[in-house]
Every structure is written in C-alpha cells, then in structure tokens.
C-alpha cells in the first residue's frame, strides 16, 4: 500500500492508526509493505518515530501496545517524493519491484489536482499492474467540470473497477447497520415511506473549528467538504430501494437512483431552501473561541460557509413530499452525527400527553460519538391516568455487542480496498450526480454578495436554520 501525502494529517492521524488496528486484530496477513511518500525530508527512523507519536495520540490508551506497534512498524517505509516529478518515481519502482504482480494500492491522500499527474507518473514508471488499485480522497475537484476532468484523467490509467472513491462515512459501523436495519428486517420497510414519515433530519455537527486546515477549508467550505459527499451518501442509504444483493453494482445502482431523483434547485429554491452560516466568536467546550474570520490565514472578507442547512426533496413514489433536512457545521455545541426519522402524528389523537403536546414516533439513529438506535413512541405510565408519555426502546451497540467496534470508518474501507470490494465506495456516476445537484447552490451562493449568515460558535447555527423548518411547521429535533 502506497500513500501519497504520506506524511500528511490524514495518513498519520487516521490511516496508519487504522492499519495498526487491522494488524493488531490479525487482519493484515501475508506479505506486504506500507510505503509513505511525502515532501518532507525524513529519514526512515525519523518517519517511524513521527508516525508513532501521531499514532499514539490518536489510538485510545487501551488499544495501544508497544509490541504491536513495533511489529507493525516493520512494514513502514518512507521516501521523499515530489509527486509531480516523474524522475522521482524510480524509488517506488525499487520498492514495488517484488510486488508488481500482487495487489498494489495507491492511496492518493493529496489535493485532487494532483490525482492526474500522479496517475500519469505511475503509468510512465510502469507501476500500474493489472492488480493495481487507486484510492481517491474527497473532495474530487471543486465543481462538476473539475471533478469530471479529474475523473477522465484518472480513467486513462485505471479502470472503474480499480478506482476506489473513498467516503469514510460509509465505513462507519452505524451506517452499515442502517442497511442491516432496513434490509435485514421486514419491520421497518412498510413504514419507510411518505405515507408514514413526515420528515427526515440528517445532521453531522462538529464541535471543532477548522483547525490547521485553513488553506483547504477556505477554498472548499462546508457544502463541498461535507454535503456533496458525506451527507448525500447518508441520504442515499436512508432513501434507497432495497438492492437485489450486497454486490457493489446492486448497492451503487440504487444509490444512484436516489441522487438522480433529488429535486434540482432553481436560483429561487436556493434562497428558499438553503441556509449558509459562518461562525463568529463564542464559547466552545467551555472555552472562548475566535470566529472563522480570526482563524489563521483566513482572509478578513472570506465568505466561506462553515455551516449549511438544506431542505432536499426526492421526487419518486416512496418519498414525494417528504422533506430531507440536511445540516452540518463546525463549532456546533457538540460532536454528533445522526439520522432522525420523524413519523407522522396519529390521525386522530384521543390521549392527552403529559407535556401538553402530542408526540409523534421517531427513530433516532446515532452514528457518533455513541452508536445507538432509539425508537421513541408513546406509552401509558402506571396509575389512574391516560396521559401518555414518550418512551424509547434502545439498542446501544457497544452494550449489546461487547466486542471492539472499529472507529472512524477507515479500517473497514482499507480492508475492503485490499479485498477488492467496492460496495462501500462511490462510483463515478454517483460522484457526478452529487456534484450536479450541489452545483446550482454553489453558483447561486457565489453570485450573492451578501455572504453567509453568522452564528455564535457553540450554537446550532444561524436562526435561519430553524426558520427553514418552522416554515414547514417542523423543528430540528433538539428544539422539540
């Protein structure tokens, strides 16, 4: 496995720790090597020490084992490489000379404008064997045209069945559990449609700000960073029809149909159905924090959004008229990813409720930080009362399955690349369709000089995000 961007944040914080976990759980077998390529001038020992320090920070205490790291690190190699310079690839030819006939995975953890030159240089160096695979990190490009141009360039060197477009949310246990819940049970299927569901809310909230990624983030913004990929993929898993099998093509065909059924936004729709926000100073994690414009290297007049809320609709028989509210932001009150399915009210309420409201049933699928599924419904408390109370059935995965649950998503996906299973990766037509859907939003925002609304760091975004739902007679579920 070869990591371009091999000394970067993603590789050292997430990917190497994930491979360490796979190794610790005896999931990496046979021979192989992990080659990290980067611009820094590390010696082999310096790199291994650096990778160790990083891994220690990001692997929780109980999971760390010096001996396991020592045996894992024997696989690690580091070389300095400017990926744009073809002559540098000789070093890789030497490293891979023994394994060219085997599965070689090229993981491009770099900005996407480097994907084409890297593939071209790999091809020139004769490194793309029949068993080569390439993993592409998101976001691919910055709009539909640039994404297509990159896709076209990569496809000159790799076939679609060799290309793994990674979206780490699909590797999360809880997302796969959503497929199990929907398609491994008959219970929910009859209810999983417009007749019974009033709205769906999908939230990925982060407590952190943009950290040290200002260069990337100010160019990208939350729509490209989170909505075009993670949120739309989650929406696909909620909304897709049952696939005929778990084969990659069957799953991806169904996801594509959802993306194709998303109602396109006109300019007016963008104003009516989207909200963009940018955090101003506030309190986060009990500490005062600066606003987005005070972050290092962010231009004082930046209009980049750090928060997005969107009302999406799906034009098909199952979902027509059911709003899917999508929301993501930095500097929210807590780190939380969840899908909430709100069921309709009973047609004719006959019970009084203790809080004076009729409560509708809802299914909460919490993806992180905890992983649980809770089904809320009404029950009668003991005593001479018919005032109902809302209660829930709770499936907490950590309590139920007392075995280690891989965190983050990368472990599963790295193993899937090695095994050649593409079901949890994004196909080019999905990628394209997702860009096509977000593009009118990007364009309308770019042409609108008013910029994002501000929100105080540590809150749930601008008030317009609440208004987006209240216009429809709904509210975000934490506001209920």
- For ligand BG6, the binding residues in 101-140 under the rule CB under 6 A are none
Q: Which is nearer to ligand BG6, 48 or 223 (CB)?
A: 223
Residue 142 marked ligand-binding: no
For residue 142, indicate whether it is catalytic. Answer: no
Binding residues for ligand BG6, how many (CB under 6 A)? 5
Task: Compute the least distance from the CB of residue 224 to ligand BG6, in Å.
Answer: 9
For position 452 contacting ligand BG6 by CB under 6 A, the verdict is no
Q: Which is nearer to ligand BG6, 81 or 150 (CB)?
A: 150
String of contacts with ligand BG6 for each residue 202-241, x by CB under 6 A:
----x------------------x----------------
Name the token pair of 430. Answer: 């999905």
In degrees and rounded to multiples of 5, residue 284 shows phi and psi of -135, 130
Q: Which is nearer to ligand BG6, 225 or 416 (CB)?
A: 225
Residue 380 marked ligand-binding: no
Burial 294-327 (b: 16+ CB within 10 A, else e): ebeebeeebbbbbbbbbbbbbeeebbeebbbbbb
Which residue in the block uniquely carries the two structure tokens 């990208």? 220
**DSSP of 198-243:** EEEEEEEE-SS--TT-HHHHHHHHHIIIIIIIIIHHHHHHHHPPPP
Residue 35 marked ligand-binding: no
Cβ neighbours of 57 (radius 10 Å): 10
For position 295 contacting ligand BG6 by CB under 6 A, the verdict is no
Name the token pair of 429. Answer: 């037509």
Task: Compute the least distance from the CB of residue 337 to ligand BG6, in Å.
Answer: 6
Report d(CA 304, CA 126) in Å as an integer: 41
Residue 400 marked ligand-binding: no
Check: CB of residue 119 under 8 Å from CB of residue 135.
no
Check: CB of residue 112 under 8 Å from CB of residue 141.
yes
For position 408 contacting ligand BG6 by CB under 6 A, the verdict is yes
Task: Compute the least distance from the CB of residue 206 to ligand BG6, in Å.
Answer: 5
Contacts for 319 with CB less than 8 Å, ≥ 6 apart: 193, 194, 239, 261, 313
Q: Which residues pair with residue 289 across a beta bridge?
A: 282
Task: Compute the least distance from the CB of residue 168 to ligand BG6, in Å.
Answer: 6
Task: Compute the least distance from the CB of residue 167 to ligand BG6, in Å.
Answer: 8
Q: C-alpha distances in angstroms, 383 versus 30, 358, 380, 387, 388?
A: 64, 20, 9, 10, 11
- For ligand BG6, the binding residues in 325-354 under the rule CB under 6 A are 337
Cβ-closest residue to ligand BG6? 225
Q: Which of 23, 35, 142, 230 is catalytic?
A: 230
Residues annotated catalytic, as ranges: 230
Specify binding-site residues: 138, 168, 172, 206, 225, 330
Specify binding-site residues for NADP(+): 138
Residues of this chain that interact with ligand BG6 (CB under 6 A) are 168, 206, 225, 337, 408
């Amino acid at each position: 496995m070869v990591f371009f961007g091999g000394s970067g944040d993603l590789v050292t914080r997430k990917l190497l720790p994930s491979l360490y976990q796979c190794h610790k759980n005896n999931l990496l077998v046979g021979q192989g090597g992990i080659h990290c390529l980067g611009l820094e001038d590390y010696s082999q020992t310096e790199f291994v020490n650096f990778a160790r320090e990083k891994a220690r920070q990001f692997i929780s205490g109980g999971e760390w084992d010096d001996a396991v790291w020592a045996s894992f690190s024997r696989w690690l190699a580091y070389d300095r490489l400017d990926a744009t310079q073809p002559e540098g690839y000789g070093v890789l030819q030497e490293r891979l000379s023994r394994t060219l006939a085997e599965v070689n995975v090229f993981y491009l953890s770099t900005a996407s404008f480097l994907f084409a030159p890297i593939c071209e240089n790999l091809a020139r160096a004769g490194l793309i064997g029949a068993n080569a695979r390439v993993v592409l990190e998101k976001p691919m490009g910055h709009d539909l045209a640039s994404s297509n141009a990159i896709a076209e360039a990569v496809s000159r060197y790799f076939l679609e069945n060799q290309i793994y477009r990674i979206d780490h949310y699909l590797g999360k246990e809880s997302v796969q559990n959503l497929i199990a819940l929907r398609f491994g049970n008959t219970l929910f299927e009859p209810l999983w449609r417009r007749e019974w569901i009033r709205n769906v809310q999908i939230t990925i909230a982060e407590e952190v700000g943009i950290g040290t990624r200002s260069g990337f983030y100010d160019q990208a913004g939350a729509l490209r960073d989170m909505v075009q990929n993670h949120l739309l993929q989650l929406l696909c898993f909620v909304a897709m029809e049952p696939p005929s099998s778990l084969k990659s093509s069957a799953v991806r065909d169904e996801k594509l149909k959802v993306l194709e059924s998303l109602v396109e936004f006109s300019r007016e729709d963008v104003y009516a159905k989207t909200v963009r926000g940018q955090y101003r100073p506030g309190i986060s994690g009990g500490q005062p924090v600066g606003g987005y414009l005070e972050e290092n290297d962010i231009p004082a007049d930046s209009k980049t959004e750090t928060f997005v809320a969107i009302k999406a609709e799906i034009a098909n028989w199952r979902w027509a008229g059911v709003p899917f509210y999508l929301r993501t932001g930095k500097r929210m009150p807590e780190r939380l990813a969840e899908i909430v399915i709100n069921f309709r009210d009973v047609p004719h309420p006959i019970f009084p409720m203790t809080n004076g409201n009729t409560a509708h049933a809802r299914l909460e699928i919490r993806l992180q930080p905890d992983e649980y599924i809770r089904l809320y419904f009404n029950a009668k408390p003991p005593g001479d009362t018919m005032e109902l109370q809302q209660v829930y059935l709770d499936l907490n995965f950590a309590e139920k399955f007392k075995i280690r649950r891989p965190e983050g998503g990368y472990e599963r996906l790295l193993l899937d690349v090695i095994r050649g299973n593409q079901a949890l990766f994004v196909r080019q037509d999905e990628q394209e369709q997702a860009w096509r859907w977000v593009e009118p939003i990007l364009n309308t925002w770019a042409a609108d000089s008013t910029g994002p609304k501000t929100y105080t760091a540590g809150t749930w975004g601008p008030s317009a995000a609440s208004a987006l739902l209240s216009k429809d007679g709904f509210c975000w579920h934490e506001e209920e």
